[in-house]
Structure 1
Amino acid sequence: MALERAHQGQLPPDNHVHTHWSWDTPDSSTMRKACERAIAQGLPAIAFTEHLDFTVWHDEDRATEEGLVDRYPAHQLPIDVEGYVAELAEVRGRFPELRIWSGIETGEPHLFAASIARHLEDSPVDRILGSLHSLSDEGRLVGVGRLLHVDADATMRRYLGEMVGMIESSDVFQVLAHVDFPRRYWPGGSHRYVEKDYEEEYRAVFRALAGSGRALEINTSSPLASADQVRWFREESGEAVSFGSDAHAPTAVGQKFDLAAAVAEAAGFRPGRDRFDFWRR
């Protein structure tokens, strides 16, 4: 029934899309191709949220205070803001029927407040996502997927605990992206991950997020969140959900949004004030 309603109604915007301006995305992933896909999927809007990850940071950043010296492995590169802005202007002119937002996905924003503020001072954007991809390990930021293979259960609990701290100490982002990011890299396959085992930790994250008035992302590149998980957010007074494909290729824009809409509906969320809005309780 919920799936049927999702098909009959307007699909939500895709608030989480990467192009070749992100360090981990191929050159073939252009804004034009992503916009063409969004229109073909019937989406009203798209946000180009390129990765903003720091391998060098300022003395004022908490990362410095905590004694973090580098990332491992450090493949991250800065955004070419000039090129990004020029291509954004081009597609906004080419596709007037599609609302096109600028954006960033900030990695570990609680550790890099000063660096992010300086970036946004020169390059303001419409959408800001907050993400946790890495945890500290002996003075370095290490991708969480690597730490899972040491102790998956302890790493997941530590990850969700760190996410609470991230929410409570950073107000720069509007949407919390992929709350269970480590699940993508779960030892033995994501099908072995048991969401219910971490309900208490999820609820702590959701209480913090709801208390801040920000939106939870339903990420469709991750193994799709269950209606139970999204319902936990609602039960902890969460008000809004955002939909993000986390696309790193144009063909992934809007992927599984019909199913994601069904999950949101089953958890008690409905389309918002207009077709560009978050979905709300």
Structure 2
Amino acid sequence: MENPQAMAHQGQLPADNHVHTHWSWDTPDSSTMRRACEQAIAQGLPAIAFTEHLDFTIWQDDDRATTDGLVDRHPAHQLPIDVEGYVAELAECRERFPGLRIWSGVETGEPHLFAASIARHLRDSPVDRVLGSLHSLSDRGRLVGVGRLLHVDADATMRRYLGEMVGMIESSDVFQVLAHVDFPRRYWPGGSHRYVEKDYEEEYRAVFRALAGTGRALEINTSSPLASADQVRWFHEAGGEAVSFGSDAHAPTAVGQKFDLAVAVAEAAGFRPGRDRFDFWRR
């Protein structure tokens, strides 16, 4: 029987749980919270989460990265979040846009390697949304961007990436949402159209079993290329309870991008609107 609350929200686009602004090290100064909020309202979204990159180029002695013998990150363009500036702009937008729910957040890179550093940050600067991401893999004592490793051996890197993601899920409980599970596909040699998802079905299913076992949400990331309905269905078949929608916007115009298609993907996989318009979608 249909959930009457879910039926009441049919046609309502979900919240965008993954947005970057100029407080992220890889996002231009023109990407302000105010402009992102204006876009969210124009798109008819009920809420937006500003999940700025929380990455580390220097880590603590009690981080696993130290235990594993990692000495640096390559490339090392990452910068810390200006928490004071971020919080001030967030408060300004909450006052300016009272009809839009605005969440604070971080996207934690490699959270299983930096548990101590992340805990220190969140202790001093708690947030509403925490995403977990895998952008880099270890290579001869360094953390190296996965896009670079793909050009050495794409197939081996992809399998290693998804295996590392299982370990990340099993050894870190700090994040609520697993972001862009097939991040390397964006950088696939020769173009993402050459990527064959079915070749990695076994590895994907292992990730989804691990994630489903924790009760956490899988992100449907709408930054090109969009996750397939097959991929989200595999999560559903593994017992996955919830999906989150994230534009991964690094420009205000990208907030809520392709959410109509993402909703179709979620519905085709068996997920429906949750308890209210701010909730994750659920099975």
What TM-score comes out, normalization by structure 1 length?
0.97
Deviations 1:107-158 (A, max 9, x none): 0000000000000010000000000000000000000000000000000000
What's the offset of the Cα at 1:242?
A: 0.1
Deviations 1:180-211 (A, max 9, x none): 00000000000000111100000000000000
What's the offset of the Cα at 1:222?
A: 3.6
Q: The residue matched to 1:187 in structure 2 has which SS?
A: coil
- CA separation in 2, counterparts of 1:205 and 1:73? 27
Give the equivalent residue in structure 2 for 1:44: 46
Give the equivalent residue in structure 2 for 1:61: 63
Q: The residue matched to 1:47 in structure 2 has which SS?
A: strand
What's the offset of the Cα at 1:7?
A: 11
Residue identity (%): 92
Count of equivalent residues: 276
- CA separation in 2, counterparts of 1:27 and 1:37? 17
Asked if the contact 1:81/1:123 (under 8 Å) is kept, the reply is: yes
Q: The residue matched to 1:124 in structure 2 has which SS?
A: coil
Q: The residue matched to 1:168 in structure 2 has which SS?
A: helix
Asked if the contact 2:150/2:189 (under 8 Å) is kept, the reply is: yes
- CA separation in 1, counterparts of 2:189 and 2:64? 31
Asked if the contact 1:108/1:131 (under 8 Å) is kept, the reply is: yes
Residues 271 and 8 from structure 1, CA distance in 2 versus in 1: closer, same or farther, beyond 3 angstroms? closer
Residues 35 and 29 from structure 1, CA distance in 2 versus in 1: closer, same or farther, beyond 3 angstroms? same
Deviations 1:155-195 (A, max 9, x none): 00000000000000000000000000000000000000011
**Could you tell which deviates more after superposition, 214-223 or 171-180?**
214-223
- CA separation in 2, counterparts of 1:113 and 1:254? 30
Asked if the contact 1:13/1:44 (under 8 Å) is kept, the reply is: yes
Runs of 4+ in 1 over 6 A off after TM superposition: none
- CA separation in 2, counterparts of 1:67 and 1:245? 34
- CA separation in 2, counterparts of 1:147 and 1:225? 22
Residues 7 and 189 from structure 1, CA distance in 2 versus in 1: closer, same or farther, beyond 3 angstroms? farther
Q: The residue matched to 1:46 in structure 2 has which SS?
A: strand
Give the equivalent residue in structure 1 for 2:167: 165
1:193-208 mapped onto 2 (5 Å cutoff) = 193-208=195-210
Instruction: Kindly indicate whether residue 79 of structure 2 is the aligned counterpart of residue 77 of structure 1.
Output: yes
**Could you tell which deviates more after superposition, 221-230 or 167-176?**
221-230
Asked if the contact 1:181/1:222 (under 8 Å) is kept, the reply is: no
Asked if the contact 1:7/1:258 (under 8 Å) is kept, the reply is: no
Q: The residue matched to 2:243 in structure 1 has which SS?
A: strand
Name the Cα RMSD after superposition. Answer: 1.1
Q: The residue matched to 1:88 in structure 2 has which SS?
A: helix
1:101-112 mapped onto 2 (5 Å cutoff) = 101-112=103-114
- CA separation in 1, counterparts of 2:103 and 2:266? 23
Asked if the contact 2:9/2:276 (under 8 Å) is kept, the reply is: no
Asked if the contact 1:272/1:280 (under 8 Å) is kept, the reply is: yes
Asked if the contact 2:17/2:245 (under 8 Å) is kept, the reply is: yes
**Could you tell which deviates more after superposition, 106-115 or 217-226?**
217-226
Deviations 1:48-67 (A, max 9, x none): 00000000000000000000
Q: The residue matched to 2:112 in structure 1 has which SS?
A: helix
Structure 2 portions without partners, runs of 5+ = 1-7
- CA separation in 1, counterparts of 2:107 and 2:229? 25
- CA separation in 2, counterparts of 1:203 and 1:222? 22
Asked if the contact 1:44/1:98 (under 8 Å) is kept, the reply is: yes
Asked if the contact 1:271/1:279 (under 8 Å) is kept, the reply is: yes
What's the offset of the Cα at 1:13?
A: 0.2
Structure 1 portions without partners, runs of 5+ = 1-5
- CA separation in 1, counterparts of 2:275 and 2:27? 33
Asked if the contact 1:178/1:222 (under 8 Å) is kept, the reply is: no
Asked if the contact 2:9/2:273 (under 8 Å) is kept, the reply is: no
Q: The residue matched to 2:9 in structure 1 has which SS?
A: helix
Asked if the contact 2:10/2:273 (under 8 Å) is kept, the reply is: no
- CA separation in 2, counterparts of 1:58 and 1:226? 38
